[in-house]
Structure 1
Amino acid sequence: MIPGVILAGGRATRMGGGDKGRLEVGGCALIEHVIARLGPQVDALALNANGDPARWADLGLPVIADADDARAGPLAGVLAGLDWAAGAGAEAIVTAAADTPFLPRDLVERLVAAAGPSGLALAATREEGRFWPQPTFGLWPVALRDDLRAALADGTRKVLHWTDRHEAGLAVWGDPAPFFNVNTPEDLARAEALACA
């Protein structure tokens, strides 16, 4: 059993605040695109978001908040997802960002195949001979949740600082397009163009 967790806990400051996942592309909210692509790949789906969970009620998903409201970045959302999954008896979760409407339809399969010795894997793209990790797309073993909790308490915020310590495997895509995320109004316009192409 591998549940999925959509990470939507950010502040969206470059978009002027609010819930980025609610912005529309191709006639649907970004988060609806993510649900449509990730949902069929996992056994259950939850949303990591902070603030009033009632604003997400229409999605019909469990809403899990960070353990505190320090906004410690994606790793805090991963930890919230791991704690939720542990309560459900799952051994791992897969995460995806709420602002990535074109995420791969084979994300989970490829992350599982790429898992490192600890069971951890991140998505990455290969461009011009270099690997570019996509740190909000990962396979995260529940067994590492206490280590992650301690790392966050010690001030770790960068995903790669923590995943490198645990020898995360890389699932590599040659095309970066599936990981395109919407951070700015210009990105939103580009996503709309891609969705309608």
Structure 2
Amino acid sequence: MKQPLGVILAGGQASRMGGGDKALLDLGGRPLLAHAIDRLEPQVAGLALNANGDLARFARFGLPVLPDPMPGHPGPLAGILAGLDWAADQGAETIVTVAVDTPFFPGDLVPQLLLGAETGGHGLALAESEGGLQPTFGLWPVALRDDLRQALAAGTRKLRVWALDHGAARVRFPGPRFDPFFNLNTPEDLARARDLLRG
């Protein structure tokens, strides 16, 4: 299998964080998006960002920016579809997605997802940790994009349900000190992440 492309999901509205742009929140003097790029870029063949609104605000990061292919912020499945359409144009077979608000995700995410998909997942795999299934962290075959487009058009919004219905493998990632998929939903979460970054 070819090395997958990577897609950072940043299409949400950050309502619990008080609105604004989660991707541009400061963590240790750098935006969250920069942390996600640093962790994912070495693991993939190319990288894009799924985001909505004024795309020019991300120009400094030098990534293709992929808006949701349908209106109304239908959730991360729409971001995954945007990534799959982009990957198809690149001739890629798969993408790996990560959430922009999860700055400590594993440095071996992609190879472990690839291994999990090979051992049983029909080419689709989701990360799992002590905190449960982490469906925004997944390996997605480009071949499923038309199926996903139809599901979204029919009203499907639950990412984990759609993925598990398609035979997704579950790949366990242990956290030595804390859940590596700890994500930042509130100002308190951001404060905790700053503490973790300081060690």
The TM-score range, normalised by the shorter chain, is over 0.9
1: CA distance between counterparts of 2:155 and 2:24?
30
Deviation string 1:131-184 (CA, Å, 9 cap, x unpaired) is: x11011000000000110111111110111101111100110122521111110
2: CA distance between counterparts of 1:59 and 1:3?
17
Residue of structure 1 in register with 2:149 after alignment: 149
2: CA distance between counterparts of 1:73 and 1:149?
13
* TM-score, structure 2 as length reference: 0.94
2: CA distance between counterparts of 1:180 and 1:40?
21
Identity %: 61
AA matched with 1:96: V
Deviation string 1:46-102 (CA, Å, 9 cap, x unpaired) is: 000011110100000000001122211000000000000000000000000011111
Residue of structure 2 in register with 1:17 after alignment: 19
2: CA distance between counterparts of 1:165 and 1:36?
32
Residue of structure 2 in register with 1:171 after alignment: 171
Of 120, 124, 127, 1:120 maps to: 124
C-alpha contact (below 8 Å) 1:120/1:167 kept by paired residues: yes
State which drifts further: 3-12 or 152-161.
Answer: 152-161
How many aligned residue pairs are there? 193
Instruction: Compute the displacement of 1:22 (Å).
Output: 0.8
Of 77, 89, 92, 2:94 maps to: 92
2: CA distance between counterparts of 1:177 and 1:11?
24
State which drifts further: 139-148 or 63-72.
Answer: 63-72
Gaps of 5+ in 2: none
Q: Secondary structure at the match of 1:101?
A: coil
Residue of structure 1 in register with 2:111 after alignment: 109
2: CA distance between counterparts of 1:152 and 1:58?
31
Instruction: Compute the displacement of 1:117 (Å).
Output: 3.8
Instruction: Compute the displacement of 1:30 (Å).
Output: 1.0
Gaps of 5+ in 1: none
Quickly say closer, same or farther: Cα 1:6–1:36, change in 2 above 3 A: same
Residue of structure 2 in register with 1:182 after alignment: 184
C-alpha contact (below 8 Å) 1:50/1:69 kept by paired residues: no
2: CA distance between counterparts of 1:187 and 1:170?
26
After the TM superposition, which residues 41-120 of structure 1 pair with which residues of structure 2 at under 5 Å, given as runs? 41-115=43-117, 116-120=120-124
Q: Secondary structure at the match of 1:178?
A: coil
* TM-score, structure 1 as length reference: 0.95
Q: Secondary structure at the match of 2:130?
A: strand
AA matched with 1:161: V
